Structure 1
Amino acid sequence: MQAWLDSLTALLALPQYGLSTLFFVSFVSATLLPLGSEPALFGLLKLNPEMFWPAVLVATAGNTLGGAVDWWMGYGAHKVADKYAHSKHHVRVLTWLEKLGPKACLLSWLPLFGDPLCAVAGWLKLSFWPCLLYMAIGKFARYLTMTVALLYIWPN
Protein backbone atom coordinates (compact mmCIF):
# COMPACT_ATOMS: atom_id res chain seq x y z
CA MET A 1 0.00 0.00 0.00
CA GLN A 2 2.81 2.41 0.86
CA ALA A 3 4.46 1.82 -2.52
CA TRP A 4 1.19 2.66 -4.25
CA LEU A 5 0.83 5.90 -2.25
CA ASP A 6 4.45 6.83 -3.02
CA SER A 7 3.91 6.27 -6.74
CA LEU A 8 0.68 8.32 -6.66
CA THR A 9 2.48 11.15 -4.85
CA ALA A 10 5.28 11.04 -7.40
CA LEU A 11 2.78 11.09 -10.25
CA LEU A 12 1.04 14.17 -8.86
CA ALA A 13 4.26 16.07 -8.11
CA LEU A 14 3.65 19.55 -9.49
CA PRO A 15 7.18 20.49 -10.63
CA GLN A 16 7.43 17.44 -12.82
CA TYR A 17 3.93 17.33 -14.32
CA GLY A 18 2.68 20.91 -13.91
CA LEU A 19 -0.40 21.82 -15.89
CA SER A 20 -1.65 18.26 -16.43
CA THR A 21 -1.65 17.66 -12.69
CA LEU A 22 -3.37 20.97 -12.09
CA PHE A 23 -6.05 20.04 -14.63
CA PHE A 24 -6.58 16.65 -12.97
CA VAL A 25 -6.76 18.08 -9.44
CA SER A 26 -9.12 20.86 -10.58
CA PHE A 27 -11.34 18.35 -12.38
CA VAL A 28 -11.55 15.99 -9.41
CA SER A 29 -12.13 18.82 -6.94
CA ALA A 30 -15.17 19.97 -8.94
CA THR A 31 -16.87 16.64 -8.53
CA LEU A 32 -18.55 15.88 -5.26
CA LEU A 33 -15.26 14.66 -3.77
CA PRO A 34 -13.87 16.85 -0.98
CA LEU A 35 -10.67 18.12 -2.58
CA GLY A 36 -9.50 21.68 -3.10
CA SER A 37 -7.57 22.72 -6.18
CA GLU A 38 -6.45 26.13 -4.96
CA PRO A 39 -3.40 24.77 -3.10
CA ALA A 40 -2.26 22.98 -6.28
CA LEU A 41 -2.69 26.17 -8.31
CA PHE A 42 -0.88 28.23 -5.68
CA GLY A 43 1.98 25.72 -5.44
CA LEU A 44 2.43 25.60 -9.20
CA LEU A 45 2.48 29.39 -9.44
CA LYS A 46 4.92 29.74 -6.55
CA LEU A 47 7.28 27.44 -8.46
CA ASN A 48 6.54 28.94 -11.91
CA PRO A 49 5.17 32.50 -11.60
CA GLU A 50 5.47 33.03 -15.35
CA MET A 51 2.70 30.44 -15.86
CA PHE A 52 0.02 32.63 -14.23
CA TRP A 53 -2.47 32.81 -17.11
CA PRO A 54 -1.98 29.27 -18.46
CA ALA A 55 -2.36 27.88 -14.93
CA VAL A 56 -5.51 29.89 -14.16
CA LEU A 57 -7.05 28.88 -17.49
CA VAL A 58 -6.14 25.19 -17.07
CA ALA A 59 -7.57 25.18 -13.53
CA THR A 60 -10.72 26.85 -14.82
CA ALA A 61 -11.07 24.33 -17.65
CA GLY A 62 -10.57 21.33 -15.36
CA ASN A 63 -12.96 22.66 -12.74
CA THR A 64 -15.58 23.56 -15.35
CA LEU A 65 -15.44 20.09 -16.90
CA GLY A 66 -15.77 18.60 -13.43
CA GLY A 67 -18.85 20.79 -12.97
CA ALA A 68 -20.18 19.41 -16.24
CA VAL A 69 -19.77 15.89 -14.84
CA ASP A 70 -21.74 17.01 -11.77
CA TRP A 71 -24.46 18.36 -14.08
CA TRP A 72 -24.71 15.01 -15.86
CA MET A 73 -24.72 13.10 -12.57
CA GLY A 74 -27.58 15.28 -11.39
CA TYR A 75 -29.40 14.80 -14.67
CA GLY A 76 -29.11 11.03 -14.30
CA ALA A 77 -30.13 11.06 -10.65
CA HIS A 78 -33.40 12.86 -11.27
CA LYS A 79 -35.65 9.88 -10.59
CA VAL A 80 -33.72 8.78 -7.49
CA ALA A 81 -34.25 12.14 -5.80
CA ASP A 82 -37.98 12.25 -6.49
CA LYS A 83 -38.71 10.66 -3.13
CA TYR A 84 -37.48 13.86 -1.41
CA ALA A 85 -39.47 16.23 -3.62
CA HIS A 86 -42.10 17.08 -1.03
CA SER A 87 -40.06 18.61 1.81
CA LYS A 88 -40.60 22.34 2.40
CA HIS A 89 -36.90 23.23 2.19
CA HIS A 90 -36.43 21.17 -0.95
CA VAL A 91 -39.34 22.85 -2.73
CA ARG A 92 -38.12 26.34 -1.75
CA VAL A 93 -34.59 25.73 -3.04
CA LEU A 94 -35.84 24.17 -6.27
CA THR A 95 -38.19 27.08 -6.87
CA TRP A 96 -35.31 29.52 -6.38
CA LEU A 97 -33.05 27.56 -8.74
CA GLU A 98 -35.73 27.22 -11.40
CA LYS A 99 -36.35 30.96 -11.19
CA LEU A 100 -32.65 31.76 -11.69
CA GLY A 101 -32.18 29.09 -14.36
CA PRO A 102 -28.66 28.48 -15.70
CA LYS A 103 -27.46 31.76 -14.12
CA ALA A 104 -27.52 29.95 -10.79
CA CYS A 105 -24.40 28.13 -11.99
CA LEU A 106 -22.46 31.38 -11.53
CA LEU A 107 -22.45 30.30 -7.88
CA SER A 108 -20.61 27.08 -8.74
CA TRP A 109 -17.45 28.63 -7.29
CA LEU A 110 -18.84 28.54 -3.73
CA PRO A 111 -17.14 26.11 -1.36
CA LEU A 112 -19.33 23.21 -0.21
CA PHE A 113 -22.39 24.36 -2.21
CA GLY A 114 -21.03 25.04 -5.70
CA ASP A 115 -20.39 21.50 -6.87
CA PRO A 116 -23.70 20.07 -5.62
CA LEU A 117 -25.37 23.09 -7.25
CA CYS A 118 -24.05 21.89 -10.63
CA ALA A 119 -25.57 18.47 -9.96
CA VAL A 120 -28.90 20.02 -9.01
CA ALA A 121 -28.84 22.08 -12.23
CA GLY A 122 -28.58 18.82 -14.15
CA TRP A 123 -31.27 17.23 -12.03
CA LEU A 124 -33.56 20.15 -12.88
CA LYS A 125 -32.65 19.66 -16.53
CA LEU A 126 -31.52 23.27 -16.89
CA SER A 127 -29.96 23.88 -20.31
CA PHE A 128 -26.50 22.28 -20.37
CA TRP A 129 -24.55 24.78 -22.49
CA PRO A 130 -25.71 27.94 -20.68
CA CYS A 131 -25.02 26.19 -17.36
CA LEU A 132 -21.54 25.27 -18.56
CA LEU A 133 -20.88 28.86 -19.63
CA TYR A 134 -21.98 30.27 -16.27
CA MET A 135 -19.96 27.60 -14.44
CA ALA A 136 -16.87 28.60 -16.41
CA ILE A 137 -17.39 32.31 -15.65
CA GLY A 138 -17.87 31.67 -11.93
CA LYS A 139 -14.94 29.30 -11.64
CA PHE A 140 -12.64 31.58 -13.65
CA ALA A 141 -13.52 34.49 -11.36
CA ARG A 142 -12.77 32.35 -8.30
CA TYR A 143 -9.40 31.16 -9.58
CA LEU A 144 -8.38 34.62 -10.72
CA THR A 145 -9.39 36.23 -7.42
CA MET A 146 -7.82 33.52 -5.25
CA THR A 147 -4.59 33.47 -7.23
CA VAL A 148 -4.16 37.24 -7.27
CA ALA A 149 -4.89 37.37 -3.54
CA LEU A 150 -2.45 34.58 -2.69
CA LEU A 151 0.36 35.77 -4.94
CA TYR A 152 0.14 39.54 -4.68
CA ILE A 153 -1.85 40.53 -1.58
CA TRP A 154 -0.38 37.87 0.74
CA PRO A 155 2.86 36.96 -1.08
CA ASN A 156 4.56 35.14 1.80
Structure 2
Amino acid sequence: MLTLFLVALASATLLPGGSEVWLAREWCQGHPGGMLWVVATAGNSLGSLINVALGRYARHFQGRRWFPVSPAGLARGERWYCHFGEWSLLLAWMPVVGDPLTVLAGVFRLPWWRAAALILVAKGSRYALVLMLAEAWLAPLC
Protein backbone atom coordinates (compact mmCIF):
# COMPACT_ATOMS: atom_id res chain seq x y z
CA MET A 1 0.00 0.00 0.00
CA LEU A 2 2.86 2.39 0.73
CA THR A 3 4.25 1.71 -2.73
CA LEU A 4 0.86 2.52 -4.27
CA PHE A 5 0.76 5.81 -2.33
CA LEU A 6 4.27 6.77 -3.47
CA VAL A 7 3.66 5.79 -7.10
CA ALA A 8 0.37 7.73 -7.10
CA LEU A 9 2.08 10.75 -5.55
CA ALA A 10 4.94 10.69 -8.08
CA SER A 11 2.49 10.18 -10.96
CA ALA A 12 0.71 13.41 -10.08
CA THR A 13 3.84 15.50 -10.13
CA LEU A 14 5.69 16.24 -13.32
CA LEU A 15 7.48 12.89 -12.94
CA PRO A 16 6.24 9.97 -15.04
CA GLY A 17 4.41 7.15 -13.32
CA GLY A 18 1.82 4.45 -13.76
CA SER A 19 -0.37 4.53 -10.69
CA GLU A 20 -3.31 2.89 -12.48
CA VAL A 21 -1.23 -0.21 -13.17
CA TRP A 22 -0.14 -0.37 -9.53
CA LEU A 23 -3.72 0.07 -8.40
CA ALA A 24 -4.92 -2.80 -10.61
CA ARG A 25 -1.99 -4.96 -9.45
CA GLU A 26 -2.81 -4.38 -5.79
CA TRP A 27 -6.50 -5.08 -6.47
CA CYS A 28 -5.60 -8.38 -8.17
CA GLN A 29 -3.60 -9.33 -5.09
CA GLY A 30 -6.80 -9.16 -3.06
CA HIS A 31 -6.50 -5.82 -1.27
CA PRO A 32 -9.87 -4.18 -0.55
CA GLY A 33 -10.95 -1.77 -3.29
CA GLY A 34 -12.11 0.92 -0.87
CA MET A 35 -8.75 1.08 0.87
CA LEU A 36 -6.92 1.11 -2.47
CA TRP A 37 -9.16 3.95 -3.65
CA VAL A 38 -8.39 6.02 -0.54
CA VAL A 39 -4.63 5.42 -0.75
CA ALA A 40 -4.34 6.13 -4.49
CA THR A 41 -6.61 9.19 -4.32
CA ALA A 42 -4.73 10.61 -1.33
CA GLY A 43 -1.31 10.08 -2.90
CA ASN A 44 -2.25 11.43 -6.30
CA SER A 45 -4.09 14.43 -4.82
CA LEU A 46 -1.12 15.27 -2.61
CA GLY A 47 1.14 15.11 -5.67
CA SER A 48 -1.13 17.54 -7.48
CA LEU A 49 -1.11 19.88 -4.50
CA ILE A 50 2.70 19.81 -4.68
CA ASN A 51 2.30 21.03 -8.27
CA VAL A 52 0.00 23.82 -7.04
CA ALA A 53 2.65 24.83 -4.49
CA LEU A 54 5.36 24.76 -7.17
CA GLY A 55 3.21 27.00 -9.35
CA ARG A 56 2.73 29.48 -6.53
CA TYR A 57 6.45 29.55 -5.82
CA ALA A 58 7.59 29.58 -9.46
CA ARG A 59 5.83 32.88 -10.15
CA HIS A 60 8.55 34.61 -8.12
CA PHE A 61 11.11 33.63 -10.77
CA GLN A 62 9.24 34.53 -13.94
CA GLY A 63 11.60 37.37 -14.86
CA ARG A 64 14.70 35.17 -14.90
CA ARG A 65 16.27 33.97 -18.17
CA TRP A 66 16.14 30.31 -17.11
CA PHE A 67 12.42 30.42 -16.25
CA PRO A 68 10.90 27.50 -18.22
CA VAL A 69 7.89 29.41 -19.60
CA SER A 70 8.20 32.41 -21.91
CA PRO A 71 6.17 35.54 -21.17
CA ALA A 72 4.04 34.74 -24.24
CA GLY A 73 3.46 31.19 -22.97
CA LEU A 74 2.50 32.47 -19.54
CA ALA A 75 0.09 34.99 -21.09
CA ARG A 76 -1.44 32.21 -23.20
CA GLY A 77 -1.83 30.05 -20.09
CA GLU A 78 -3.39 32.95 -18.23
CA ARG A 79 -5.93 33.57 -21.01
CA TRP A 80 -6.79 29.88 -21.13
CA TYR A 81 -7.07 29.67 -17.34
CA CYS A 82 -9.20 32.83 -17.15
CA HIS A 83 -11.51 31.41 -19.80
CA PHE A 84 -11.99 27.97 -18.20
CA GLY A 85 -11.10 28.95 -14.63
CA GLU A 86 -10.79 26.75 -11.62
CA TRP A 87 -13.22 24.19 -13.06
CA SER A 88 -10.44 23.11 -15.40
CA LEU A 89 -8.98 21.28 -12.39
CA LEU A 90 -11.69 18.68 -12.90
CA LEU A 91 -9.45 17.60 -15.79
CA ALA A 92 -6.45 17.16 -13.46
CA TRP A 93 -6.81 13.38 -13.83
CA MET A 94 -5.91 13.50 -17.54
CA PRO A 95 -2.48 12.45 -18.76
CA VAL A 96 -0.26 15.18 -20.22
CA VAL A 97 -2.60 18.15 -19.52
CA GLY A 98 -3.56 17.41 -15.92
CA ASP A 99 -0.20 18.20 -14.32
CA PRO A 100 0.22 21.60 -16.04
CA LEU A 101 -3.34 22.50 -15.01
CA THR A 102 -2.45 22.02 -11.36
CA VAL A 103 0.69 24.12 -11.78
CA LEU A 104 -1.40 26.87 -13.43
CA ALA A 105 -3.79 26.80 -10.48
CA GLY A 106 -0.82 27.67 -8.27
CA VAL A 107 0.57 30.29 -10.64
CA PHE A 108 -2.78 32.07 -10.69
CA ARG A 109 -3.27 31.72 -6.94
CA LEU A 110 -6.39 29.56 -6.72
CA PRO A 111 -7.20 29.25 -2.99
CA TRP A 112 -5.86 26.01 -1.50
CA TRP A 113 -9.18 24.66 -0.33
CA ARG A 114 -10.81 25.07 -3.77
CA ALA A 115 -7.82 23.51 -5.53
CA ALA A 116 -7.84 20.59 -3.08
CA ALA A 117 -11.58 20.01 -3.44
CA LEU A 118 -11.54 20.02 -7.24
CA ILE A 119 -8.42 17.86 -7.41
CA LEU A 120 -9.91 15.32 -4.95
CA VAL A 121 -13.06 15.02 -7.06
CA ALA A 122 -11.04 14.56 -10.27
CA LYS A 123 -8.53 12.09 -8.87
CA GLY A 124 -11.09 10.14 -6.85
CA SER A 125 -13.32 9.77 -9.90
CA ARG A 126 -10.44 8.45 -12.00
CA TYR A 127 -9.45 5.83 -9.44
CA ALA A 128 -13.07 4.78 -8.93
CA LEU A 129 -13.30 4.22 -12.69
CA VAL A 130 -10.03 2.27 -12.73
CA LEU A 131 -11.30 0.01 -9.95
CA MET A 132 -14.62 -0.55 -11.74
CA LEU A 133 -12.78 -1.46 -14.93
CA ALA A 134 -10.44 -3.77 -13.03
CA GLU A 135 -13.42 -5.55 -11.51
CA ALA A 136 -15.14 -5.88 -14.86
CA TRP A 137 -12.16 -6.90 -16.99
CA LEU A 138 -9.45 -8.25 -14.69
CA ALA A 139 -11.51 -10.32 -12.26
CA PRO A 140 -11.35 -13.48 -14.41
CA LEU A 141 -7.57 -13.06 -14.80
CA CYS A 142 -6.67 -12.44 -11.15
**TM-score bracket for this pair, using the shorter chain length:** 0.7 to 0.9
* Cross-structure match for 1:66: 47
Please give the alpha-carbon distance, in whole angstroms, between the structure 2 residues aligned to 1:150 and 1:143.
Answer: 10
Structure 2: which 5+ residue stretches go unaligned? 65-69
User: Contact 1:98–1:124 at 8 Å: present in 2 too?
Assistant: no
What count of residue pairs does the alignment treat as equivalent? 135
Unaligned runs of 5+ in 1: 1-18
Deviation, 1:99, is 3.4
Scaled by the length of structure 1, the TM-score of the pair is: 0.78
Residue 72 of structure 2: aligned partner: 86
Supply the RMSD in Å over aligned alpha carbons: 1.8
In structure 1, C-alpha distance between the alignment counterparts of 2:22 and 2:56, rounded to whole Å? 30
Q: Hey, which bits of structure 1, 4+ residues long, moved more than 2 A?
A: 79-83, 90-93, 98-102, 153-156
Structure showing greater relative contact order (alpha-carbon pairs closer than 8 Å, 6 or more residues apart): 2
Letter in 1 for 2:15: L
Q: Which residue of 2 aligns with 1:8?
A: none
Structure 1 CA distance, aligned partners of 2:28 and 2:10? Answer: 22
Partner Cα distance (1:128, 1:82) in 2: 25
TM-score under structure 2 normalisation? 0.85
For residue 126 of structure 1, give the secondary structure of its aligned residue in structure 2.
coil
Say whether residues 1:20 and 2:19 are aligned partners.
Answer: no
